[in-house]
């Protein structure tokens, strides 16, 4: 579902007046790796003061929600632990609905990424032993070259034997913003590299990763339900997603039937990207300062 009309330039003040609740992306909206964006702390305080419920919705699968919240608080943004929804936490409903409880899992990522798999019911194994599920959690926290080569070797053995492995990608982001000026390669790009290799070797039956994080609308609906639970007096609450990425934040919000606002201060070439992707936000927000 694509918005029919051109996006409307708006301000934080206007949006808080208009909407009952918010989903807010973390990186590129509230924070970058070095700190908070101007106005981020005041925006969250304003929501709290007015009892407007919100969830921070992040594709982070390298940190638990409590670790994420602690990080935001260290940048002066007072987000409680239970107001954070991460793509890593979407592993639990996936394992439940696909009968993966007890499955042997190789998880590439940090110790928090491993905790997500453990909490979902997966049995963590090392890269040098067979596994039934490959979870690509984060680009950090493991010896990169050695681990990806071992993982790829096992995938080839299994797909050669027509005994496929489940491929899960909580965070499909291809890159991340390291600081206001610097960027880094994210695990989504490593998964895309694996898909390219598998496509090359198995052109007729190439497997792809199941992407659990944004733009998967399941994650937006999950977070929106939690916001709506705090608004029992509103029968059909209007909830707005604020993000900086068209293909994850804005596309997923649209598919989940939510209105969206794009932070143009973090995405200067958004108009060109919007034309190319066919994804149009409802609102444009040039920063969080009032």
By CB under 5 A, name the binding residues for Mg ion: 25, 27-28, 244
Q: Which residues contact 127 (CB under 8 A, 6 or more apart)?
A: 106, 142, 146, 147, 150, 151
Between 75 and 158, name the residue whose CB sits nearer to Mg ion. Answer: 75
**Smallest distance from Mg ion to CB 198, Å:** 28
Between 171 and 280, name the residue whose CB sits nearer to Mg ion. Answer: 171
**Smallest distance from Mg ion to CB 267, Å:** 9
Contact 223, 60 (CB under 8 A): no
Chain centroid offset of residue 17 CA: 27
Question: Distance of CA 287 to CAs 85, 144, 284, Å?
Answer: 22, 36, 9
Between 25 and 112, name the residue whose CB sits nearer to Mg ion. Answer: 25
C-alpha to C-alpha distance for 198 and 192, rounded to whole angstroms: 10
Phi (first) and psi of residue 153, to 5 degrees = -60, -45
C-alpha to C-alpha distance for 272 and 131, rounded to whole angstroms: 42
**Smallest distance from Mg ion to CB 26, Å:** 7
Mark out the alpha helices in 81-177 (DSSP H runs): 91-97, 111-120, 144-160
Closest-by-Cβ residue to Mg ion is 28
- Helices (H) then strands (E): counts for the chain: 10, 16
C-alpha to C-alpha distance for 92 and 196, rounded to whole angstroms: 27
Q: Which residues contact 156 (CB under 8 A, 6 or more apart)?
A: 201
Between 39 and 207, name the residue whose CB sits nearer to Mg ion. Answer: 39
Mark out the alpha helices in 110-265 (DSSP H runs): 111-120, 144-160, 187-201, 217-229, 251-255
Between 127 and 263, name the residue whose CB sits nearer to Mg ion. Answer: 263
**Smallest distance from Mg ion to CB 234, Å:** 27
Between 63 and 154, name the residue whose CB sits nearer to Mg ion. Answer: 63
Contact 169, 139 (CB under 8 A): no
Between 147 and 174, name the residue whose CB sits nearer to Mg ion. Answer: 174
**Buried/exposed 21-56: b ≥16 CB within 10 Å, e otherwise:** bbbbbbbbbbbbeeebbebbbbbbebbeeeebbbbb
**Smallest distance from Mg ion to CB 189, Å:** 15
**Smallest distance from Mg ion to CB 266, Å:** 7
**Smallest distance from Mg ion to CB 6, Å:** 23
Between 15 and 155, name the residue whose CB sits nearer to Mg ion. Answer: 15
**Smallest distance from Mg ion to CB 173, Å:** 8
Report the greatest alpha carbon distance in the chain. Answer: 59
């Amino acid at each position: 579902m694509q918005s029919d009309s051109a996006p409307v330039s708006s301000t934080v003040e206007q949006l808080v007046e208009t909407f009952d609740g918010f989903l807010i992306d973390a990186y590129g909206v509230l924070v970058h790796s070095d700190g908070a964006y101007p106005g981020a702390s005041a925006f969250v305080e304003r929501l709290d003061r007015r009892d407007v419920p919100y969830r921070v919705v992040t594709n982070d699968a390298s940190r638990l929600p409590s670790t994420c919240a602690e990080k935001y608080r260290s940048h002066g943004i007072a987000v409680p632990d239970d107001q954070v929804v991460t793509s890593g936490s979407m592993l639990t409903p996936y394992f439940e609905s696909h009968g993966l409880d007890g499955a042997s899992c190789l998880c590439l990522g940090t110790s928090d990424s491993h905790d997500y798999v453990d909490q979902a019911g997966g049995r963590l194994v090392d890269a040098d032993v067979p596994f039934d599920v490959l979870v690509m959690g984060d680009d950090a926290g493991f010896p990169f070259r050695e681990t990806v080569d071992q993982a790829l070797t096992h995938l080839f053995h299994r797909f050669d034997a027509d005994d496929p492995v489940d491929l899960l990608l909580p965070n499909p982001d291809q890159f991340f913003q390291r600081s206001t000026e610097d960027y880094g390669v994210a695990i989504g790009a490593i998964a895309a590299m694996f898909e390219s290799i598998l496509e090359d070797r198995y052109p007729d039956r190439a497997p792809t990763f199941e992407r659990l994080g944004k733009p998967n609308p399941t994650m937006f609906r999950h977070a929106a339900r939690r916001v709506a639970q705090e608004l029992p007096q509103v029968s059909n609450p209007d909830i707005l997603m604020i993000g900086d990425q068209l293909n994850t934040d804005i596309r997923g919000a649209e598919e989940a039937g939510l209105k969206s606002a794009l932070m143009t201060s973090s995405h200067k070439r958004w108009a060109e990207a919007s034309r190319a992707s066919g994804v149009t936000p409802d609102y444009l927000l040039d920063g969080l300062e009032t």
